[in-house]
Chains A and B, each alone.
Chain A
């Protein structure tokens, strides 16, 4: 059974640009969550999608958005990139409510 797949693994963007990251959950998993990991702030929850609906949202500005498709794949978009958006972005999937979460390898975004 394939794990959580995130693409691309590495990305370099310039300030002001926008970026889209992709996450394919484990087959059958319906919940997809996104996290940002930085040395200064650690791991922070961005948002969670279930059945194409955003159910939970962390404390990030509106420049951070996401969506989920009918096949449970999810994308995360960051617009007007800032240097501080440089981070490892991790996606996690879980089968349903109250089940364990599994993480992908992450996308390392560098904003220059």
Chain B
């Protein structure tokens, strides 16, 4: 079946690294995404990784993909108060990869 799972909450101290984990079920996923949603806003594409990659780094963001375990993680280095948001893990499925299945979102809160 199609399912993406992630923990609901994460609290980190400002300046520390945040690691948000996600598991997915569809092995045919083409893209795996991380989206950020701030209160009252739409979805902002943070980063994505193509399914044949193991790692992608983009400034403070590092995405790790373990295809064998169907595990995806997002690491945010030097977490700032502006990083407070809900982070959604998602996978694209289907022959056109146009259908996206989302996790329930992880609410990241930053402690001073």
Contact = CB atoms under 8 A, between A and B. Distances in A.
Contacts of A43: 88, 90, 102
Interface stretch (B15-23, B37-45, B62-70, B76-84): B37-45
A50 B99 CA distance: 12
14 contacts: A33-B100, A35-B102, A43-B90, A43-B102, A48-B98, A55-B96, A55-B98, A56-B99, A98-B97, A99-B97, A103-B35, A103-B42, A103-B44, A105-B41
B74 interface: no
Contacts of A44: 102
Given A90-B42, A103-B45, A50 B105 contact: no
Interface in B93-112: 94-105
A106 B98 contact: no
Nearest to A42: B104
A33 B44 CA distance: 15
A106 B42 CA distance: 6
Contacts of B31: 98, 100-101
Interface size class on chain B is: 20 to 34
Interface residues of A, number: 27
Contacts of B105: 42
Contacts of A106: 41-43
A56 B43 CA distance: 21
Interface in A59-105: 88, 90, 92, 94, 97-105
Contacts of B102: 35, 42-44
A88 B41 CA distance: 10
A97 B103 CA distance: 22
